[in-house]
């Protein structure tokens, strides 16, 4: 019977495939397909890992036996359980099935089978047996640790998407995925994903949009309702997940999927068309990127520059070891050179809130404080000036290879502005003293906090351009945690308060002849393009996958007409009601 689960639509399109249910903590293992001639090899890796862990446990047991009698009876019994689990037929034959029949790599097969057995444990009545799940997880974790040291020969060149022996697309189902998980996801084989938690502008959703794959977040209990290998349809446009769909539904959604592809092909013809409105206004369409390699996609979509390089993705999932100056310089340089002379706006590191450096890592206090109001973005950089200086030097050096704008996130106080500018000067001095070459950068500030939007003249005195981060501006204006699906219905880009802050920022920048752009998700939302144009915006930064659809809207607009309408929207009690006029 088909079950339908409702969540939040975060990344458009339809995906149809078999479910791979993962615990979020297991996303850090590789997911790729193994060619037929490597299958035996993969089974061997697994066998070695299991034997190594058995040996480890036997050694510990031996050590226990050398102690006075019955010194650690519980530990000894526990080790027996671990040994038993390692030999368990359901684990070994199940893992083999995923490798032989589905061509999963060993780590992926192991974690998939772990999920299958863990669910059976969850359903057990007997609390003692239920608790054995934790033992199983420990045993698997030990095997994974061993395998981490012995990489698969296939892994190095694995491009899961291309090398799939299996014809059936796979979709990922998880309780949660962190932004760092998403980086891993980018290199994986999945055609779409669904998570139990997450808001529309959470960073997980943002990365999904950047990958242009169908995704639904906030689907509450999906990771419990969906079983390993179930057939699933993800409708990323409607925010709906259909489990075990009937043949009629499969046919209907297959048709929608093909229609989507036709529409994309049609839009791709606009790539080289200049983004100019009917009344001749030139509009700048820029790309948001997370990694230097994304520059390729930006150019392909016809972006005229990068309006937001979220540099924090270079810092994530590294077990606390931050990238040094050389590594950062090389990464920024790759992005700059990748854009072939077009400007690249590098935003300094914005970790914290829903972007922890490492999965699950939070300061103890964050468990009971809201991290969105805590030490994130520029606040963190100013609290760690030596880390910040490393990044500033790397960006300035990369600017020697092409036009670079330096963008600072989440400023709110004049003192923060002063400290930031002083550190930028210090970074220049340090490079001068070291005889290192660097380039000129334009300085920009993000307007993301209402306090900043209400003090624009202060920002205009110190910066060359402003960029409105509407994701955070909405979050902080409406007091809605953007990552929390429980309040996502209150997350309203056209709330009169948000529109006033946005309109005021755009108007003041234009009055002073300073550049202003919007780089939050609003910029890539085609239902808001007319309004933003009417409010005077001429520069939009968004995921490359949204550029052509926004351009299509722009080509149909006359800004002289939109101005009056936008003013009426701005003055309305319920702006959303006027949006379809």
Between 108 and 540, CB nearer to ligand PEP:
540
Q: Which of 469, 534, 536, 575 binds Mg ion (CB under 5 A)?
A: 469
Q: Which of 543, 367, 562 is nearest to 471 (CA)?
A: 543
> Considering CB distances under 5 to 8 angstroms, the limit depending on partner class, which of Mg ion, ligand PEP, none binds residue 140?
none
Name the binder of 7 from Mg ion, ligand PEP, none, CB < 5-8 A by kind.
none
Q: Please, which residue, 143 or 474, has the CB nearer to Mg ion?
A: 474
Give every CB contact of residue 347 below 8 A, 6+ residues apart in sequence.
308, 309, 310, 311, 407, 408, 409, 446
Distance CA 546, CA 419 (A): 36
Q: How far is the CB of 154 from ligand PEP (least distance, A)?
A: 34
Going along 184-248, which residue ranges are E strands? 190-195, 215-217, 231-235, 240-243
Alpha-carbon separation of residue 457 from 197, 381, 460, 517, 565 (angstroms): 39, 24, 5, 16, 27
Judged by CB under 6 A, the number of residues near ligand PEP is 11
| Of 158 and 208, CB closest to ligand PEP | 208
Smaller CB distance to ligand PEP: residue 137 or 354?
354
Q: Any contact of residue 310 with ligand PEP (CB under 6 A)?
A: yes
Q: Are 305 and 344 in contact (CB under 8 A)?
A: yes
Please give the Cα distance from 304 to 536 (Å, whole number). Answer: 19
User: Using CB distances below 5 to 8 A depending on partner kind, what does residue 19 bind out of ligand PEP, Mg ion, none?
Assistant: none
Q: For strands 8-11 and 190-195, give the pairing.
A: unpaired
Residue range at the interface with ligand PEP (CB under 6 A); choices 132-140, 177-185, 468-476, 497-505: 468-476
Other Cβ atoms within 10 Å of 123 Cβ, number: 7
Site string for ligand PEP, 195-214 (x = CB under 6 A): -----------x--------
Does 509 participate in catalysis according to the annotation? no
Report d(CA 332, CA 186) in Å as an integer.
19
- Is residue 544 involved in binding ligand PEP (CB under 6 A)? no
Helix (H, G, I), strand (E, B) or coil at 70: coil
The piece of 23-31, 49-57, 223-231, 466-474 that touches ligand PEP (CB under 6 A) is: 466-474
Q: Which of 472, 481, 484, 485 binds ligand PEP (CB under 6 A)?
A: 472
Write down the least CB distance from residue 526 to ligand PEP, Å.
17
Centroid of chain to Cα 178: 7
Catalytic residue among 222, 509, 519, 557: 519
Q: Which does 111 bind (CB under 5 to 8 A by kind): ligand PEP, Mg ion, none?
A: none
Write out the two tokens for 334: 């790759």
Comparing CB distances to Mg ion, the nearer of 292 and 469 is: 469
The residue (of 505 and 553) whose beta carbon lies closer to Mg ion is: 505
Which 8-state DSSP code applies to residue 381? Answer: H
Q: Which residues partner with 289 through β-bridges?
A: 309
Question: Residue 131: in which H helix or E strand, if any?
Answer: helix 127-149
Least separation in angstroms between residue 89's CB and ligand PEP is 48
For Mg ion, the closer of residues 22 and 445 by Cβ is 445
Q: How far is the CB of 62 from ligand PEP (least distance, A)?
A: 53
* Residue 470 interacting partner from ligand PEP, Mg ion, none (CB closer than 5 to 8 Å by kind): ligand PEP
The answer to whether 524 contacts Mg ion (rule: CB under 5 A) is: no
From 103, 203, 401, 495, the catalytic residue: 203
By CB under 6 A, residue 350 contacts ligand PEP: yes
Q: Beta 515-518 vs 465-468: how paired, if at all? A: parallel
Among 472, 481, 484, 521, binds Mg ion (CB under 5 A): 472
Tokens, residue 558: 């006359």
With CB under 5 to 8 Å by kind, the binding choice for 484 among ligand PEP, Mg ion, none is: none
Closest alpha carbon to 341 in 390, 303, 288, 395: 303
Give residue 347's Cα distance to chain centre.
16
Burial (0-12, 13-18, 19+ Cβ within 10 Å), 165 = exposed
> Can you tell me the distance from the alpha carbon of 333 to that of 327, in angstroms, rounded to the nearest whole number?
10
For residue 532, the Cα-to-chain-centroid distance in whole angstroms is: 25
Strand 240-243 versus strand 3-6 pairing type: antiparallel
Binding flag, residue 290, Mg ion (CB under 5 A): no
Out of 176, 448, 484, 485, the residue judged to bind ligand PEP by CB under 6 A? 448
Catalytic machinery residues: 203, 519
Residues that bind ligand PEP (CB under 6 A): 206, 308, 310, 350, 448, 469-472, 519-520
Residues that bind Mg ion (CB under 5 A): 448, 469, 472
């Amino acid at each position: 019977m088909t079950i339908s689960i409702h969540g939040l639509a975060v990344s458009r399109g339809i995906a149809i495939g078999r479910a791979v249910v993962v615990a979020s903590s297991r996303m850090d293992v590789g997911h790729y397909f193994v060619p037929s001639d490597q299958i035996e090899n993969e089974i061997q890796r697994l066998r070695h890992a299991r034997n190594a862990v058995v040996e480890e446990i036997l050694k510990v047991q031996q050590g226990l036996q050398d102690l006075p009698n019955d010194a650690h009876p519980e530990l000894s019994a526990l080790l027996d359980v671990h040994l038993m689990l390692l030999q368990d037929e359901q684990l070994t034959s199940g893992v083999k099935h995923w490798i032989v029949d589905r061509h999963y790599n060993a780590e992926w097969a192991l974690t998939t089978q772990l999920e299958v057995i863990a669910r059976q444990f969850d359903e057990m009545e007997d609390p003692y047996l239920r608790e054995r799940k934790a033992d199983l997880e420990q045993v698997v974790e030990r095997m994974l640790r061993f395998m981490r040291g012995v990489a698969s020969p296939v892994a190095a060149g694995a491009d899961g998407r291309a090398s799939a022996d299996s014809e059936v697309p796979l979709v990922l189902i998880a309780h949660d995925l962190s932004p760092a998980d998403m980086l891993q996801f980018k290199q994986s084989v999945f055609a779409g994903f669904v998570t139990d938690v997450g808001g529309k502008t959470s960073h997980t959703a943002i990365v999904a949009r950047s990958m242009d794959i169908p995704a639904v977040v906030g689907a509450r209990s999906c990771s419990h309702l969906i079983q390993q290998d179930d057939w699933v349809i993800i409708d990323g446009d409607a925010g709906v997940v259909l489990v075990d769909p009937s043949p009629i539904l499969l046919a209907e959604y297959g048709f929608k999927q093909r229609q989507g592809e036709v529409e994309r092909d049609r839009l791709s013809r606009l790539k080289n068309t200049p983004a100019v409105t009917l009344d001749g206004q030139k509009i700048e369409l820029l790309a948001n990127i997370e990694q230097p390699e994304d520059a390729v996609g930006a150019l392909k979509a016809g972006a005229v520059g990068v309006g937001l390089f979220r540099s924090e993705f270079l810092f994530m999932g590294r077990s606390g070891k931050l990238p040094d100056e050389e590594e950062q310089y090389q990464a920024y340089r790759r992005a700059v050179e990748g854009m072939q002379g077009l400007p690249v706006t590098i935003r300094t590191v914005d970790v914290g809130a829903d972007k922890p450096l490492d999965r699950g890592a939070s300061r103890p206090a964050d468990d009971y404080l809201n991290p969105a109001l805590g030490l994130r973005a520029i606040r963190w950089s100013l609290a760690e000036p030596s880390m910040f200086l490393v990044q500033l030097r790397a960006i300035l050096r990369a600017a020697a290879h092409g036009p670079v704008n330096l963008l600072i996130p989440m400023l709110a106080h004049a003192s923060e502005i002063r400290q930031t500018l002083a550190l930028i000067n210090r970074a220049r001095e340090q490079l001068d003293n070291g005889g290192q070459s660097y380039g000129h950068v334009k300085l920009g500030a993000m307007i993301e906090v209402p306090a900043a939007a209400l003090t624009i003249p202060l920002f205009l005195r110190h910066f060359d351009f402003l960029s409105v981060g509407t994701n955070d501006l909405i979050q902080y204006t409406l007091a809605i945690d953007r990552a929390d699906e429980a309040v996502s219905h209150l997350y309203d880009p056209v709330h009169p308060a948000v529109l006033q802050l946005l309109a005021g920022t755009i108007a003041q920048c234009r009055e002073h002849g300073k550049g202003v752009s919007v780089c939050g998700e609003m910029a890539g939302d085609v239902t808001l393009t007319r309004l933003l144009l009417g409010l005077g915006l001429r520069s939009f930064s968004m995921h490359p996958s949204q550029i052509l659809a926004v351009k299509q809207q722009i080509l149909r607009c006359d800004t002289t007409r939109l101005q009056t309408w936008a003013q009426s929207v701005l003055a309305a009690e319920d702006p959303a009601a006027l949006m379809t006029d």
